[in-house]
Amino acid sequence: MHDCAVDFRQFIEELRSRGDLVDVTVEVDSDMEMAAITRRVYEEHLPAPLFHNIAGNALGARVLGAPAGMSGKPGAEYGRLALHLGLAQASTAQDIVAAIRAAMKARPVAPRHVPTGPVQQNIWRGDEVDLTRFAVPLLHEQDGGRYLGTYGFHVVQSPDRSWDSWGIGRLMLLDKNRLTGPAIPTQHIGMVRQMWTQQGKATPWAMALGAPPAAVAVAGMPLPAGVSESGYVGALMGQGIDLVQTQTNGLWVPAQAEIILEGQISLSETALEGPMGEYHGYQHHVGHQQPVFHVHAVTFRDRPILPICVAGLPPEENHTIWGTMISAQLLELLQQAGLPVDMVWCSYEAASCWAVISVDTVALAALGTTARAFADLIARTVFDTHPGYLIPKLILVGNDIDITDIDQVVWALATRSHPAHDHFSYPQQREFPMVPYLSEADRARGSGGKAVINCLFPEQFRGQMRAGTASFKHSFPPALQDQVKQRWVEYGYGVR
């Protein structure tokens, strides 16, 4: 199974064998049609579409939509995400978080530097570069341009070569050899760029598209500054990932990728990027000036496959990949701090705007604390970290709630959180500027949107529970539950 996580084409073959991929062979248009199909796939939890026949596509390139979308197959809802990590199709959210945490604790496995790889089957340099020859899609009607990079990761390196940073990012096509997109100063790409800027130099840069799925997942993990992602991919897979050197700037990139773009991030040149339909589910109407990425060379496989994420209402890859990696990191942080937490989950439906924290109420009672004091402790532990910076709201619930079940989370939020006593704001904490509810004043300050919402009853801080749960699982003797399940067809309800 690990081979599927380190080779994008084997990943696709495994999806096909599972019936979790549809080969779309009729001609489709890159002007919104592919994106519209992909959005419907996300929203109805359907198999991933692989588009083989794209109008005007001279290269024979293909496009894969919804590479980490959710499945509607019972018991395999997280199957596509699990396959990114080399895990079984039936893996649960808890299984996936546990695997990520195990890799975080494991010794990093260094990548293997190889002389060449499949991604270098075709090479364009200088004037040969023409990004318009790829099937670059228009993703939303109101977008300000076509986006080539929506499911790839940036590769940059600190000037002293001590830090190789891989980070998820988007890039909009400007013309045949220029792109534009965010390089937020508080994100790692922005930090590395600042190091080069201090030397008066443009930043050497690459982007990997159709990269090994495990590498994409790790690139979505907000690791501490200075930590190189390639070693974590090796730890996750139990083997080093193959890297090849770029043609023009000496960076090391995945040998098994489909497409590698390489060049520089301009020192000062900017262009209007967007607007774009965003991962919080909103279609913005105004773009922003962002740095220009100059492409000096492109390498790619024969008939390359470009993966796309059509951002919008969840769940899509910004939630399934990014949110899951953040969940694992927050759980690790809280447990390392000795706090009584047994699971953390960034509910996909919340569009990466909250993380739900499952609290061991027996251990909580032993602390002898209060809702305010415990919320403050959680906030101090989380919000000053990189993953905590990205998530604006934390919801605390007792571990009688399955926090991966959004219905249970909504029930707890609606019935257990007192509006006057359980909502705690932290206006001085740094805030991620892309959070949609922030005001212009918040964005100018860089703070103002952090909160902890307590959904623990006061009695739970004393080891007691205000009331039991009225449900099939909790309100009937186990023997009667088993009897009802066994007679389900007899009652006339079809499949048990």
Provide the β-strand partners of residue 124: 298
Q: Which residues of 157-175 are buried (b: 16+ CB within 10 A; e: fewer)?
A: bbeeeebbbbbbbbbbbbe
Q: Does 411 belong to an annotated binding site?
A: no
Q: Which of 443, 447, 334 is nearest to 394 (CA)?
A: 334
Token pair listed for 224: 């501490």
* CB-based contact 284:269 (threshold 8 Å): no
Q: Which helix (H) or strand (E) holds 397?
A: strand 393-398
Q: Which of 366, 331, 368, 333 is nearest to 346 (CA)?
A: 331
Q: Does 229 belong to an annotated binding site?
A: yes
Contacts of 66 (CB under 8 A, 6+ apart): 38, 41, 42, 48, 49, 80, 309, 310, 316, 317
Q: Which of 195, 184, 192 is nearest to 166 (CA)?
A: 192
Instruction: Determine whether 44 is an active site residue.
Output: no
Q: Does 386 belong to an annotated binding site?
A: yes
Helix (H, G, I), strand (E, B) or coil at 128: helix
What does the alpha-carbon distance between residue 423 and residue 455 come to, in Å, rounded to a whole number?
Answer: 9
Q: Does 44 belong to an annotated binding site?
A: no
Q: Does 264 belong to an annotated binding site?
A: no
What does the alpha-carbon distance between residue 238 and residue 127 come to, in Å, rounded to a whole number?
Answer: 41
Q: Does 1 belong to an annotated binding site?
A: no
Helix (H, G, I), strand (E, B) or coil at 157: strand
Alpha-helical (H) ranges within 321-405 are 324-336, 361-367, 371-382, 386-390
What does the alpha-carbon distance between residue 278 and residue 314 come to, in Å, rounded to a whole number?
Answer: 10
Provide the β-strand partners of residue 108: none
Q: Which of 262, 273, 278, 316 is catalytic?
A: 278
Q: Does 107 belong to an annotated binding site?
A: no
With vertex at residue 376, the alpha carbon angle to CA 370 and CA 381, rounded to the nearest 5 degrees, is 125
What does the alpha-carbon distance between residue 397 and residue 243 come to, in Å, rounded to a whole number?
Answer: 43
Q: Does 170 belong to an annotated binding site?
A: yes
Which segments are annotated as binding site? 166, 170, 187-188, 219, 221, 229, 386
Q: Please give the positions annotated as active site.
A: 278
Which segments are annotated as binding site for prenylated FMN? 170, 187-188, 229, 386
Which segments are annotated as binding site for Mn(2+)? 188, 229
